[in-house]
């Protein structure tokens, strides 16, 4: 299971609006400075997946299944504070 945005004092939506930059799925690219986050609806709740490695990014770009999705680029240091993202040691990237 990947890591997810879970800020202690605000909603994930409020965090992403404040700290993220809204993008299209085509702009979702992992860099050293910014990580794509996929905000999606599961009906009763939302989740914000940190796509910090290529396989996770591919999973969320390929398996949307009709869910409402928004994409954000977020500073990696900010994600470290509100998720289990392991900055400055990102997960392995595919060659």
Residue 16 near residue 39, CB atoms below 8 Å: yes
CA distance 31 to 29: 6
Single out the residue of 2, 19, 7 nearest to residue 86, CA to CA: 2
In the chain, count of helices (H) and strands (E)?
3, 5
**Residue 39: per-residue pLDDT:** 93
Rounded mean pLDDT of 41-63?
Answer: 84
Conformational region of residue 43, where left means phi above 0, alpha means psi within -120 to 50, and beta covers everything else:
left
The residue extents of the domains of the chain are: 3-82
Q: What CA–CA distance (Å, rounded) separates 87 from 47?
A: 20
pLDDT in tens, 63-75: 556 666 899 999 9
Q: Is the separation of the CB atoms in 73 and 34 below 8 Å?
A: yes
The predicted structure's pLDDT at residue 54 = 85
2 in the Ramachandran plot: left (φ > 0), alpha (ψ -120 to 50) or beta?
A: beta
pLDDT in tens, 7-50: 999 999 999 999 999 999 899 999 889 999 999 887 788 999 99
């Amino acid at each position: 299971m990947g890591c997810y945005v879970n800020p202690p004092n605000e909603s994930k939506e409020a965090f992403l609006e404040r700290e993220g930059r809204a993008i299209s799925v085509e702009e979702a690219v992992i860099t050293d400075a910014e990580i794509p986050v996929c905000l999606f609806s599961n009906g009763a709740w939302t989740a914000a997946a940190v796509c910090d490695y290529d396989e996770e990014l591919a999973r969320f770009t390929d398996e949307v299944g009709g869910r409402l999705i928004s994409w954000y680029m977020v500073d990696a240091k900010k994600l470290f504070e509100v998720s289990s993202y392991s900055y400055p040691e990102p997960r392995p990237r595919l060659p």
